[in-house]
Structure formats: structure tokens, C-alpha cells
Structure 1
């Protein structure tokens, strides 16, 4: 009987072409599956909780696999995988779960963090870790814009097209919290689910408001109509982190 193993995974997204397996591309899913095959001698499919884009980081992505046996304990799987994987991916924890657990479909919510460095000069160690905005950013306007997203709305105007239209674009945002410490700005967005590039489009709109390039009422209008009137701005992938998944 197959044994289901849950993984908590952290990775530096700059090194990968996203999470999802792609032909002839370096992805997190493919790298994990190669590690499992090297250890077990058999191909094992890795199922992730979500598909992060190229350049997006994860502090606690979740995934699961079905193992053919229980020869290794969860602790030994953690050690074996980390000794096989590149340094840009770390397994934080492994644990056996019931067969009805699914990394994607059992999730009840997610928390994302978006990091901005708001100052004329970006320190080298922040390169690839935050979005550098050198122009003055009005944090009060940023917070005002963020509050407009809280609640249940049609987020069709804040979703990118993956090649087919989303059947359901209603989502509930539980909270949008913004903290500033010197040039560091962290935007944390929690909700029951997110559409393709939804967080980056939300942050893009919020920053446009904070830069006085967009009126906050436009966000309200887009949420009511489900349609964006005018061009949308997608925040760069490098500032986005998947922080937590609730089950």
C-alpha cells in the first residue's frame, strides 16, 4: 500500500523557471522528482499546493508524494532529500499523512508576502529578493489601496490568462497588512485562494496608487465590474514569497 508523505519546502525562486514541471526547463517540481528518483530508484510524482511563477520564492510551500513503502522515516527522508537537492531548495519537514490529504485540494488558505525596497539605492544582497522602487512611495495611500481588496470580490480584473478562462474568479481576501521599516516595505496578503498572478496584480495596483499614477477608486471599480479599464501593472516576481498554507 502506498504511503503519503507531506513535504514543507523552501526555495529561492531566482534559480528556477517556476514550480510546475516543464519540458527542458529547470523547475522546482522536476528537481524534487529527480531527487526522489535518485533516492528511491523509482519515479515518484510530486504534487504541489500551488504553482509559483519563475522568480517567486517560497518560505513554506507544501507538497505530497505517494511512496511505495515505508523503509525511511520522515526524518530520514528530510535528510536524504536535502543531501541530494541543490542548496536553493530545502526540505523543512516531512511527515506521513492520511491518504485523503492533498497538498492542493486540502488547502483552506494561503499567506503571501511581497517585499519592496523603497530607496534610491538597492543593496546588492537585496537583488533578486525585493522590488526596488526608487521613487517616493506614499505608504498611507498603499494601505488605503490594500484595504479595498479585503472581503469577497470578483478578482477577474486581477488575474492573468493561463490560456483558458477561469471558471470561478470569486475569492475572499482575509487581510492585507503593510509594514515599513526604513526602506523595507512588506505587504502580507492572506486569503482563501488566489488566481494566476493575482497577488502581483494586486500589489501592482496598490503601488500605482502609492506613486500617484492611479486613483484608488479604480481598484474599487475593477472589483465591482470584474474588468480592468486601462492597462494593468504586474509587480515583478522577485519580490513575492509564499509564506504559509493553511489546512
Structure 2
């Protein structure tokens, strides 16, 4: 028995997130089907996260216990042969048997893309939020700086039937930069709540619109009420960018 860690990338446009759904196609379902064809049966998959419908992943990690003695480089080629064009295995490596893609994760980094120009780009439809009003990045970075640190992010979480549990997360990076007409918000933390990044973006856009000041972000955090923060930004602009593990895991 071996525990293998796959680093994959996918376009989430055609999927209802990672996790298997009853009446919709999810990335996990397609990945399991490919593994079944390669290994003879699909193993139990442990994923680093659960991305939502329409969210993309530049790096997503999946671990699985496999019984077949297929070298990792051959697993990469075989999986990519059976996977559709919008999902790709980037790499594969063996990890300790007690490794778990989710519970061994030290943190994640997301990027949210905003196409910031009056004219829409048809090739970015589904891959970035089109926001045509000017964005003052100096002002927005002053607001984003208040996200950094350990905070209760209840105001930045969509509440559903899930157990709320501990709502404190430690954000280590939150900043915006511009690449031509594209504005990118990069945020890293030890973990994220449901819709947390998208609500962070929606709140920053409230700041851009003058409905909040950068100095009011701490007040939004302290209220611990979803209604205190901005709207949930669309899923299309969100990308899981990196997943962090101990250095000896990813090589």
C-alpha cells in the first residue's frame, strides 16, 4: 500500500465544485472515474479543500491510498490520458501513510481576478469579475491590510447547515496589485471559511464604492455578523493558487 499525493489543476466553469453532488457533475467524480480506469478501482480520495461551483484551481491537492505499484511519473501520464481537457494532473509523489491532503495542510493561497476596464473581455467571461469603475489600489490595500492577523471571520462567512465551529483564521497575506487592466487580490491564511475570500472581495468593492472606509474593516470584523460585510463576489474570479505543506512533502 502506498499513499500518493496528486497536485492537480482544473477549470471549474463546468463543475459544481470539487465534492461529489447527487444531481450535478463535480471534479471529484470525474477524477475518481479516471482513477478507476487507471487502477482498476477508485480509491478513497482526500482533498485539500472543497471549492464551490465555478471556482478554479491552479493548484489543488488530492491524496489517496493505492495498492498498485505504478511509478508516480506513469500515474501522471495515465491520469491525464483519461481526464478531460479541463482537469490536469501536474505532479504525483509518494507521502507517508498518515499524510492527509486536508489535515496535513498548513495553509492555502487564493487569487481573485478583477478585469478592471469599461470594456468587457469575452475571453475572460467565467474567468474574472468584470468591474468597470476605477479602483484605487492604494485605498484598497489599506483596507485589505486589516484582514491580516488572527481574527474571528464570522462576518466573512456564509452561514449554512455546516457546524460553525471555530471561526478564527490567521491571514498572513492580503494585498492587491495591477497587471495592466487586471487587478489581482492575493490572500493567504492557515484556513478559510465558506465563501470567505469572495466576501472579502465584495467588502473591498464596497470600500471602492465609498460605502465603507478602509478604517471600518476592523469594525466589520468585530461585529461578527454577515450583514456587516459586503456582498459575496461571483465565483468566476476565484482561483485556489497554492496549497502549503511541510517542505519535505512536496519535495
TM class by smaller structure: over 0.9
1:72-98 per-position Cα deviation (integer Å, ceiling 9, x unaligned):
100000000000000000000011111
> Mean Cα displacement is larger for which, 139-148 or 234-243?
139-148
Aligned twin of 1:238 = 236
Q: Does 1:34 align with 2:52?
A: no
Aligned twin of 2:2 = 3
Q: Flag the 1:134–1:197 CA change in 2: closer, same or farther, 3 A.
A: same
Q: Does 1:227 align with 2:225?
A: yes
Q: Is the 8 A contact 1:112 1:190 kept in 2?
A: yes
1:182-221 per-position Cα deviation (integer Å, ceiling 9, x unaligned):
2110110011110011010111101110122323344211
Q: Is the 8 A contact 1:138 1:211 kept in 2?
A: no
Q: Does 1:205 align with 2:203?
A: yes
**Which ranges in structure 2 are unaligned for 5 or more consecutive residues?**
246-251
Of the three residues 168, 185, 192, the one matched with 2:166 is: 168
1:150-208 per-position Cα deviation (integer Å, ceiling 9, x unaligned):
11100011011231341100000001121112211011001111001101011110111
**Which ranges in structure 1 are unaligned for 5 or more consecutive residues?**
none
> Mean Cα displacement is larger for which, 23-32 or 220-229?
220-229
C-alpha distance in structure 1 between counterparts of 2:229 and 2:190, whole Å: 27
Aligned twin of 1:94 = 92
Q: CA RMSD in A?
A: 1.3
SS at match of 1:148: helix
**Aligned counterparts, 1:115-194, within 5 A:** 115-194=113-192
Q: Number of residues paired by the alignment?
A: 245
TM superposition score normalised by structure 2? 0.94
> Mean Cα displacement is larger for which, 158-167 or 201-210?
158-167
SS at match of 2:151: strand
Q: Flag the 1:47–1:217 CA change in 2: closer, same or farther, 3 A.
A: same
1:101-130 per-position Cα deviation (integer Å, ceiling 9, x unaligned):
110000011110011011111212111111
TM superposition score normalised by structure 1? 0.95
